[in-house]
Each structure stands twice: as C-alpha cells, then as structure tokens.
Chain A
Amino acid sequence: MTLKRVVVILASMLLSWNFWVLGENKPITIKGSDTMVLLGQRWAEVYMKKNPAARIQITGGGSGTGIAALINGTTDICESSRPMKDKEKEQVKAKRNLDVKEIPVAVDGLAIYMNSVNPIRELTLDQIKGIYTGRITNWKDVGGKEGKIIAYSRENNSGTYAYFKEHVLENADFHPAIQTLPGTSAVTNAVSKDLKSIGYGGIAYAKGIHHAMVKKDASSPAVEPSMENVLSAKYPISRYLYWYMAGEPSGEAAKLVDWILGAEGQKLVREVGYYPLPKAAGSPVTTPKAAGAKKKK
C-alpha cells in the first residue's frame, strides 16, 4: 500500500517534470574548448540575465570533443580554440548536410606559464620547443638555475594542444615525459604548486601566475602577451578563438551571436581576460587575417 503510494507519487512527479521541461523553450547548447569555458559561461550568464526567456547550456571537454559533438549534431554551437580542419567540415556536411559557419569570437595569446619563483622572464620559441620535445631538460640550459624542467601539457583532445603542437613544436612530437592534465585550470594549478614547472594555455588563465615573455628567435625582442602585442601579432603565438555552427544561425542563436560580437559581448571578452576582435564594432568578422593565425598547410 505504502509502496504503491510511493510509486504513484514518483510517477506523477516524473510526469509533471517532463511537462515542465517540455513546456520550456529548447536551450541553446554550447560545447567544446576548455580554454573558452570561462568566456562562454560569462557570456551566457549576462545574456540570460538580459533575456530571461533564453536558456543556454555550456560544457567544456576540449575543442575536439566540441567538434565531434557538432559533427554528431549533439550541440548547437561548438567552441574551439583551433580552426576546424577541412576534413571535419566535410564530415559535418556529409552527416548533417549543412555547411559549417565559422565565427571568430575572440583573440588569445597563448601564455607560457611558470612558477612565480622562477627567475626566467623570457624564452624563445625554439627554447620552448626544445623543452617540450625533450631536447632541453634543465633550467640551466635556458639561463635559469640548475634544476629539472617539469613540463605540463594538455590532453590530445584539446585545441590548445593542437595549436601548440602545430605552431610551437612545428608538428614534432611531445616528449613522452611531458605530463598531460585535463583542463587548463589543472595546468595552472599544477604550475602554481610546482617550483620547477612550465605549462601553456589561454592568457585568461594566467591571472595570479607568472608568464614568460616570448621571443620569436634569439635576436628578436621579448614580447609580453599584452592586448596590443597580441592584436598586432607581435606576440608570436597569438590565435583566434572560434564558434562553429552547422548552417546559418537562426532564432535565439543568431541573436546570441550578434550580441557576443557586439560591443557588450566583446567587453566581456576583455573582462574574462582574452582580447576583443580587432574590429569589435558589431559586424561579424568572417576571415581571420591578422593576429598570427597562420593559415595551416
């Protein structure tokens, strides 16, 4: 008798919950880059406050995860910290019969994190490559104090990993001893605790942690990843952050895209710690050319 009552109550709860969910409008789902989760959350928060009817769900998982979700149609918007490969765009076309819409939404300078006690202030791209390919293993060799270099990287589903491998390692392999951590915040956390460590990731995560100035080669000046330097591509490892959608955005999603590219959305980019698009007047920028986003291949 009591069991029956419990079952009835549970069933009715489930039913009413179902109706409640169905009654709401469908949420916009955003998935992908861990580098961009902070930014996406901030956008969603403010946007939903201004438009109470809109519902936005954000999850991370890595750019690769987001792109896979876009191909499989399990997300509306994919956040990616690397440009989508042509092969992946073809997969979206083949599977969903929709053209991929690429929207650069912010600019990032890939920061090289180090522990705050590390006396080193600048590194050349070649030195960074040496550290991550295992050629350089001691801080002494890059002008620091004697001590083994503990290098942290990201998992291979990360867009930042892919970008770093392409632009810093020039497609060489990471040395097996390079540790990989899930998420940029795990990397910054480890670096802040590990005196002899080095890591890399989005500039927005560099708050409260020491980061290096980067030299393109031994003879060029050391450059701080400041807004000016990143936007003018003086900082050698600058990149765009993207939103990808299948087909042209419509309805609430289109409004959201317009809003994040507008003055208000771009102001939040700055607040989170990334840099706004070069021409943040409101017109969507479609083709990235500045900011060191070297065309691949």
Chain B
Amino acid sequence: MNINTPAIGSDSTLVKANSLSSHLTGARFMDFLFGKFILLNAILAVSTIFLIGIYIGKEAIPVFYDEETRKEASLGNLFAPQKYGTQEMPLPFVWQPVGEVPKYSVLPLFLGTLKVTIIALLFGAPLAIAAAIYTAEFAKPWVREIVKPIVELLAGIPSVVLGFLALLVLASWLQDLFGFDYRLNAVNAGIAMALAIIPIIYTVSEDALSAVPRTYREASLALGVSPSKTAWSVVLPAATPGIFAAMVLGFGRAMGETMVVLMASGNAAITSLKLSDSVRTISATIASELGEVVFQSPHYRVLFFLGAMLFVLTFLLNMLGEYFVAKLKRKLMGH
C-alpha cells in the first residue's frame, strides 16, 4: 500500500486507482442526474400553472359562444340588472342557479368578494405592518427571534379552523359589540380573513424594512433624530414599495381564500354596500356549487368563468406585487 513507490503491475495499487476514478465519474454522473432532476421539477411546476390556466380557460370560454349557455346565462344575464322579483319587491341582481328560471347575476358575488377583501385588508394590514416595524426596528434580537416565527406560524393555521373560530366565537362577540342584524356578515368574515393574510403582509413588509441599509438609520440617528422618528420618516418611506407589495399580495390571497368566508360570511348573495349584511364571495360560491353541478351545463360554465376571472385577477395582483418588490430592490441597491 506504499503510494510513494508504486510497483508497476502491483495488483493492489491498480485496483485502488481504478476504483478511485470510477468513483469520481460516478459522482459526476450523479451530479448530472441530480441537476436534470431539479430542472425537471422546475419545468413541472411552471407547466402545471400553465396547464391549470389553459384548462380553466377552456372550460370557461364557451360562456361566450355555447348556445345552451348563452340562452340561460348571456352576458346580459351575468352583468346587467334584470327584472327578477315582484312588482313590489324588484330584485335586479339575483344569484340562484338552481330553480325553474336559473338566475346568474355575478355582481353580488363580485361585490361580496370585494367587501370582505377590503375589510380584511383594512383590519389586517395596519396590524401586520405595525408588527413588522416593531420587529425590524425596535425589538431586541432575541424578541425578534421569537416573534417573527410565531407570526409566520399563523400562516400554518388551516383556514377551516379560522372559519370555525369565526363561526362559533367571533360572530357572537361582534354581534354583542355592534348589534349586527346578521350574525354572520362581511365584517365577521373580513376579520377572520385578516388573520389569514396577516402572516404574508407581515413577512413581506418585515423583509422590506430589514433590507433598508443600516447607513440610512445611522445617518438619521447621527443627525439627532429619535429612533421612532427615524423609523417613521426614513426607514418606512424607503421600504414603501415593499410594503405596497405586501399589501397587494395580501389582497390577492384574501380574494382566493375560500374556507373562511364559506363558514363565516353567511353566504347570502345580497347586492348592498352595507358591511353588516351577509355576503357571498366568488370562491365560496365555486366551492359550494361545483360539487353537484351537471358536467358542461350552463351553471358549470358560469362557475368556471368565475374561477377564470378570479385566477386572472389574483395572477395580475401577484405580478403587481412582484413588480413592487423588484422596484424596492433596485431602489435600495442604488438604482
């Protein structure tokens, strides 16, 4: 086994050298294989998104030309006010796809989605951003190490659990507090939804605030500005695009959220701007109705059409969010 004096023809050294080189090529081969495997995964993930988009589009687009669908649910039926209801009680917008005359007004659903989403944002965003400012600017490192993971853990709570909480507990509290007519309403669902979007707004804002270079703060403090004033007037403005991105992403998440609203909103498709009314959102409608719907019936098409709109909307919002994050990076890198 003496490497310094290799005896030519010595069996043991030859075997050793051989096994070493074969081991090396083996490792290289594994490396190659692993690289391809990772690539395959990336392609799979991206193409899945595209395939989902194509599938939803394929099922939804016949809304515009399918004879049977056009008869029951023309674009006029979907969007324009109709003469439903009675003389004394006219109902221009009704969502009631099961019945003798199916009624497919989507306006109450859009309005409902928007109402819940905006309440969730109004309630959740200030909380999440304030918490982000606290952890990024004021908290001691060990406090930050505890608070950050805990807030992020909130994202791990299944939304059905949040919905359940809202249905049983939160709704009663809010009704006692504000005396709502409807126990389950937009406010109840919005606040429960806020819990679902706080983690995403918090995480993205916190990252944005932490990314602001130390030099900004040091310069401000050196000029004799107090730490709270520094956070408010220097760090926060510098991180604005990131915080805006956080809100846009939170908005997108809230629009698609299903289980919370299904349980906490009461699901009545009322066309009103009152926040204390019960609401029915697009996502909850799809979740509760797609299970039974007859394959490729007008109702099925309309549900897919709603899904496609939701998909496009959240897709655009996410892109907008990414755009703002990129903008923040450019800004902080010094253009």
Is A232 interfacial (CB 8 A cutoff)?
no
Is B98 interfacial (CB 8 A cutoff)?
yes
Chain A residues numbered 49-73 whose CB sits less than 8 Å from any CB in chain B: 61-62, 64-65, 67-68
A177 contacts B96, C-beta separation under 8 Å: no
Given A157-B288, A193-B172, A194-B183, CB of A179 within 8 Å of CB of B98: no
Shortest B231–chain A CB gap in Å is: 43
Across the interface, name the chain B residue whose C-beta is closest to A66. B292
How many chain A residues touch B (CB < 8 A): the figure is 34
Is A97 interfacial (CB 8 A cutoff)?
no
Which of B100, B108, B172, B291 contacts A176, CB < 8 Å? B108
For B183, list chain A residues within 8 Å (CB): 150, 190, 193-194, 197
For B184, list chain A residues within 8 Å (CB): 179, 181, 190
Which of B84, B267, B292 contacts A157, CB < 8 Å? B292
B292 contacts A150, C-beta separation under 8 Å: no
Is B168 interfacial (CB 8 A cutoff)?
yes
Is A93 interfacial (CB 8 A cutoff)?
no
Is B263 interfacial (CB 8 A cutoff)?
yes
Which of B48-56, B209-217, B268-276 faces chain A? B268-276
For A135, list chain B residues within 8 Å (CB): 89
Which of B99, B171, B277, B278 contacts A193, CB < 8 Å? B171
- Cα separation A181 to B264 with both chains bound (whole Å): 9
Shortest B154–chain A CB gap in Å is: 24
- Cα separation A175 to B168 with both chains bound (whole Å): 25
Shortest A203–chain B CB gap in Å is: 23
Across the interface, name the chain A residue whose C-beta is closest to B168. A189
For B268, list chain A residues within 8 Å (CB): 176-180
Is B289 interfacial (CB 8 A cutoff)?
yes
B267 contacts A180, C-beta separation under 8 Å: yes
- Cα separation A232 to B269 with both chains bound (whole Å): 38
Shortest A213–chain B CB gap in Å is: 25
Instruction: Give the size category of B's interface with A.
Output: 35 or more
- Cα separation A161 to B172 with both chains bound (whole Å): 26
Is B91 interfacial (CB 8 A cutoff)?
yes
- Cα separation A161 to B99 with both chains bound (whole Å): 11
Given A182-B263, A186-B167, CB of A177 within 8 Å of CB of B291: no
Chain B residues numbered 193-248 whose CB sits less than 8 Å from any CB in chain A: none
Given A65-B292, A171-B100, A176-B95, CB of A148 within 8 Å of CB of B181: yes
Binary interface profile of A, 187-205, with partner B (CB < 8 Å = 1, else 0)? 0011001101100000000
Across the interface, name the chain A residue whose C-beta is closest to B184. A179
Shortest A165–chain B CB gap in Å is: 7
Given A176-B94, A193-B172, A194-B183, CB of A65 within 8 Å of CB of B291: yes
Most buried by A among B168, B267, B268, B289: B268
Shortest A146–chain B CB gap in Å is: 13
B289 contacts A157, C-beta separation under 8 Å: yes
Which of B93, B167, B269, B291 contacts A64, CB < 8 Å? B291
B288 contacts A182, C-beta separation under 8 Å: yes
Is A271 interfacial (CB 8 A cutoff)?
no
B288 contacts A68, C-beta separation under 8 Å: no
B91 contacts A68, C-beta separation under 8 Å: no
- Cα separation A181 to B148 with both chains bound (whole Å): 36
- Cα separation A165 to B271 with both chains bound (whole Å): 22
Shortest A19–chain B CB gap in Å is: 28
A173 contacts B168, C-beta separation under 8 Å: no
For B182, list chain A residues within 8 Å (CB): 150, 179
A176 contacts B89, C-beta separation under 8 Å: no
For A65, list chain B residues within 8 Å (CB): 291-292
- Cα separation A279 to B205 with both chains bound (whole Å): 68
- Cα separation A165 to B108 with both chains bound (whole Å): 22
- Cα separation A42 to B95 with both chains bound (whole Å): 37
- Cα separation A220 to B182 with both chains bound (whole Å): 33
Is B103 interfacial (CB 8 A cutoff)?
yes
A177 contacts B278, C-beta separation under 8 Å: yes
For B175, list chain A residues within 8 Å (CB): 194
Chain B residues numbered 274-325 whose CB sits less than 8 Å from any CB in chain A: 277-278, 280, 288-289, 291-292
- Cα separation A284 to B46 with both chains bound (whole Å): 55
Which of A61, A178, A186 contacts B291, CB < 8 Å? A61
For B167, list chain A residues within 8 Å (CB): 186, 189-190
Is A174 interfacial (CB 8 A cutoff)?
yes
For A171, list chain B residues within 8 Å (CB): 99-100
Across the interface, name the chain B residue whose C-beta is closest to A197. B183
Is A134 interfacial (CB 8 A cutoff)?
yes
For A252, list chain B residues within 8 Å (CB): none
- Cα separation A178 to B278 with both chains bound (whole Å): 9
- Cα separation A144 to B97 with both chains bound (whole Å): 33
Is B190 interfacial (CB 8 A cutoff)?
no
24 contacts between A and B (CB under 8 A): A61-B291, A62-B291, A65-B291, A67-B292, A134-B89, A135-B89, A148-B181, A155-B288, A156-B98, A156-B292, A157-B291, A157-B292, A165-B98, A173-B84, A176-B269, A177-B270, A177-B277, A178-B268, A180-B267, A180-B268, A182-B263, A182-B288, A190-B184, A193-B168
Beyond A161-B98, A182-B262, list 13 extra A-B contacts (CB 8 Å).
Answer: A68-B291, A134-B89, A155-B289, A156-B98, A156-B292, A162-B98, A176-B95, A177-B277, A179-B266, A179-B267, A181-B184, A193-B168, A193-B171
Point out residues on A near B: beta carbons under 8 Å.
61-62, 64-65, 67-68, 134-135, 148, 150, 155-157, 161-162, 165, 171, 173-182, 186, 189-190, 193-194, 196-197
Listed from nearest, the 5 A-B pairs whose CB atoms lie closest are A64-B292, A157-B292, A179-B266, A156-B98, A179-B268
